[in-house]
Amino acid sequence: MTPADPGIRGIGMTSLRTRERLVQRLMDQGIRSDEVLGQIRNVPRHLFVDEALSSRAYEDTALPIGLGQTISQPYVVARMTEAMLEHLSGARRVLEIGTGCGYQTAVLAPLVKEIHTVERIPALLRRARRQLSELEIYNVRFRQGDGWLGWPKYGPYDGILVAAAAPRVPVPLLEQLTEQGCLIIPVGPSGRQELALVTRNGNELHQRSLGAVSFVPLVHGK
């Protein structure tokens, strides 16, 4: 696929005009990064959801993608990506936990050097791999496995982004950060989740909240 393809350009409720309305909504909510806003505008979110939901793809809401999972709300994707970029420098090697349908991966991929993404559900991983390949996104490595454990083989990582909520910050992920790395992860039980930004400075860790969120749980050990 190329940007000239109708499937990527979209029509009607998936058209550029509809995407521009979403971008303006995100700007109104405080997203400032031109890089991130450009990706929200250009990545065809309607290709990452079922065709029956494509007319809702550019609403600022999470949508089901099957198997008990969701595609994240565009504002949350933009907020996580913007926060990640603010703390990345140098090689920009990123670990993503929870590939899902691949939308967050597609937004982030052109903005970093490489992404290593882990997904627990094989069917979702296959779907995401196929969709990202069709969009000619090639700087992504895929792995099916337990995201709680990360992917030590390619670490340490400048940034780790987790798209599922954990009851606490997983120690294995902290251990896979570079000395100046950052981890963005939803933490807490359903209904009381906070998006945590954990930054590392040598042996010191600092954590602050980026606001309330709602994610599916990060399943450990399956």
Q: Which residues are catalytic?
A: 72
Q: For residues 52 and 65, is the Cβ–Cβ distance under 8 A?
A: no
Q: What one-character DSSP code corresponds to residue 188?
A: S
Q: How far is CA 133 from CA 96, 136, 139, 167, 222, in A?
A: 17, 5, 10, 33, 27
Closest Cα partner for 160 from 210, 110, 97, 100? 97
Q: How far is CA 108 from CA 14, 102, 191, in A?
A: 20, 10, 27
How does strand 93-97 pair with strand 114-119? Answer: parallel
Query: Is 87 exposed, middle or buried (CB count within 10 Å of its CB: 0-12, 13-18, 19+)?
Result: middle
